[in-house]
């Protein structure tokens, strides 16, 4: 019976890797072969549909552990194919480890516009300048790589700009302000 | 920094202005309970001829915090020069 927990957990993990962790090389046939080699295709399809459904509900609601328990309890009382104790313990174990990771993957898959992929910077000292007072004034040169999340093949755009100390101080103040605004939402 | 050589050759623009907004993604087809904050920024830069350029970029919270941390590091380095 412990084997049932193990197989069910392996199937949930496989589906998560396939659907949320970008391992598209994993196929349903591969999962059947690895986890349920003895099972008939028909029975496997049932288990697979069940697992997909569970995963979809848990991911869609981003269930916390209390919600999960209520959900699993309802699933164990269903007239049609109720979840067994072993399966429930597999789901519980799976969700504990994967809830945050899956939600993070959903978030990054939901950023469709141009996103910030890389930040680099360098400090320069000007040794030559049009105006004497610019000489030896240090400045920060930022390089931002901006690319489309959904279009990974396209090369990222590079934006470079220079800031003197005063500018950078003002930008940092903006960053702080943004952080404060964000915290109003995150600390809930 | 990727390609220090190119950086020396190109004309690096100056930052003119940053506009920002903080958004909250509420729900999507895949997740009804999405609830994550994100930052959208528009950077206005000007090249040496005075020509202005606008670029808009979206950031998740971790991407934004990474940018913020790098800017703080740069500011620290700038002070010590």
What does the pLDDT look like over A57-95, one tens digit per residue? 999 999 999 999 999 999 999 888 899 999 999 999 999
B58 in a domain, yes or no?
A: yes
Give A 5-34 residues with CB within 8 A of chain B: none
**Who among A61, A138, A185 is closest to B37 (CB)?**
A185
Beta bridge partners of A159: A144
pTM for the whole structure: 0.79
B5 in a domain, yes or no?
A: no
CB A140 within 8 A of CB B77: yes
Is residue A140 left, alpha or beta, with left meaning phi > 0 and alpha meaning psi from -120 to 50?
Answer: beta
- Write down the ipTM of this complex: 0.84
- Residue A109 neighbours by CB under 8 Å, 6+ apart: A149, B30
- Residue B52, exposed/middle/buried by CB under 10 A (0-12, 13-18, 19+)? exposed
**Does any CB of chain A come closer than 8 Å to the CB of residue B52?**
no
Is the Cβ pair A161, B81 closer than 8 Å?
no
Count of CB pairs separated by less than 8 Å, A with B: 156
> Which tokens belong to A4?
């049932």
**Which residue on chain B is closest to A114 by alpha carbon?**
B57
CATH of the domain at B36: 3.10.450
B9 in a domain, yes or no?
A: no
**Does any CB of chain A come closer than 8 Å to the CB of residue B59?**
yes
Q: At what angle do helices A85-109 and A41-61 cross, to 10 degrees?
A: 60
B35 in a domain, yes or no?
A: yes
B1 in a domain, yes or no?
A: no
Our count of domains for chain B comes to 1
pLDDT grade for A135, boundaries at 50, 70 and 90: low
B41 in a domain, yes or no?
A: yes
Work out the average pLDDT over A40-56.
Answer: 96
B49 in a domain, yes or no?
A: yes
B6 in a domain, yes or no?
A: no
In which domain, by residue range, is B43 found? 14-79
Is the Cβ pair B67, A116 closer than 8 Å?
yes
CB A61 within 8 A of CB A95: no
Query: Which residues of chain A does B20 touch, with a Cβ-Cβ cutoff of 8 Å?
Result: 174, 178
pLDDT grade for B49, boundaries at 50, 70 and 90: confident
């Amino acid at each position: 019976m412990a084997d049932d927990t193990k197989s069910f957990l392996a199937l949930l993990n496989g589906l998560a890797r396939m659907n949320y962790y970008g391992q598209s090389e994993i196929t349903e046939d591969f999962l059947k072969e690895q986890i349920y080699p003895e099972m008939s295709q028909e029975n496997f399809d049932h288990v697979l549909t069940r697992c997909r459904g569970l995963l979809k509900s848990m991911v869609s609601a981003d269930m916390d552990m209390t919600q999960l328990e209520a959900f699993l309890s309802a699933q164990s009382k269903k007239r049609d194919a109720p979840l067994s104790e072993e399966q429930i313990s597999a789901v519980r174990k799976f969700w504990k480890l994967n809830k945050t990771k899956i939600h993070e993957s959903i978030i990054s898959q939901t950023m469709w516009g141009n996103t910030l992929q890389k930040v680099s910077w360098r400090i320069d000292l000007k040794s030559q300048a049009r105006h004497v007072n610019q000489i030896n004034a240090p400045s920060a040169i930022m390089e931002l790589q901006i690319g489309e999340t959904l279009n990974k093949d396209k090369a990222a755009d590079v934006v470079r700009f220079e800031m003197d100390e005063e500018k950078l101080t003002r930008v940092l103040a903006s960053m702080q302000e943004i952080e404060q605004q964000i915290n109003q939402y995150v600390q809930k | 920094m990727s390609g220090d050589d190119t950086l020396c050759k190109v004309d690096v623009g100056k930052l003119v202005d940053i506009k920002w907004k903080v958004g909250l993604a509420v729900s999507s087809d895949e997740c009804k309970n999405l609830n994550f904050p994100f930052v959208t920024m528009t950077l206005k830069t000007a090249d040496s001829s005075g020509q202005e350029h606008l670029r808009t970029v979206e950031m998740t919270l971790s991407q934004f915090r990474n940018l913020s941390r790098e800017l703080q590091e740069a500011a620290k380095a700038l002070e010590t020069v």
